């Protein structure tokens, strides 16, 4: 039986070495170069911006707009649905897959972090980390300065309030906010009036 690569371990949500593995270091360097290029483009160069994101991401569907600056680790683990919008300073640490549904709106200064590190200092200092996938459903609005942590799923038609730290799954059709983020209430027909 052949030993798994660090990249294979990452895709299986096992501890892997991201700090000292040449394959992963090279892939991050390639991704950072594309992000650098993207972030230096003139705002009017929408076509070039779109092409770079399509080159960087694992999957894009339909229209999208990502305001620079934008940073990610690998890019190929990111999938976005149609009508995706991310405002300035979005950071996606995509050691594992991150899937965004259709009609997702992300406010400024948000982070989606699949990566985490062991609490044990010896393993952490050895460069080990883990990566758990994140899934964001359709018709989700994420307020400013939100952080979504490894392994979280956010359901369809949900609003995450500004400043939240999302540590656990959030169901569909709710307003949730806080640190840690928690469901405050369901979204109801009355909300259509505002």
Which residues are catalytically annotated?
A: 117
Please name every residue paired with 100 in a beta bridge, in sequence order, or none if there are none: 80, 136
Cα torsion at 69, 75, 78, 79 (round to 10°)?
Answer: 90
| Whole-number Å distance between alpha carbons of 161 and 49 | 28
CA-nearest of 132, 142, 188, 149 to 12 is: 132
| Whole-number Å distance between alpha carbons of 139 and 23 | 36
| Whole-number Å distance between alpha carbons of 103 and 18 | 32
């Amino acid at each position: 039986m052949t030993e798994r690569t660090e990249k294979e371990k990452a895709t299986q949500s096992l501890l892997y070495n991201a700090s000292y593995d040449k394959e992963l270091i090279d892939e991050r360097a390639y991704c950072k170069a594309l992000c650098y290029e993207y972030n230096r483009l003139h705002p009017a160069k929408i076509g070039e911006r779109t092409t770079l994101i399509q080159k960087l991401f694992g999957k894009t569907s339909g229209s999208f707009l990502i305001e620079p600056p934008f940073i990610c680790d690998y890019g190929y683990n990111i999938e976005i649905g149609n009508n995706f919008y991310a405002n300035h300073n979005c950071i996606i640490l995509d050691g594992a897959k991150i899937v965004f549904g259709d009609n997702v709106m992300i406010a400024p200064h948000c982070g989606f972090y699949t990566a985490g590190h062991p609490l044990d200092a010896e393993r952490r200092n050895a460069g080990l980390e883990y990566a758990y996938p994140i899934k964001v459903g359709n018709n989700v609005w994420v307020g400013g300065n939100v952080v979504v942590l490894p392994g979280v799923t956010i359901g369809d038609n949900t609003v995450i309030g500004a400043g939240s730290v999302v540590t656990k799954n959030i169901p569909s059709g709710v307003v949730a906010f806080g640190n840690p983020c928690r469901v405050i209430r369901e979204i109801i027909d009355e909300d259509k009036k505002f």
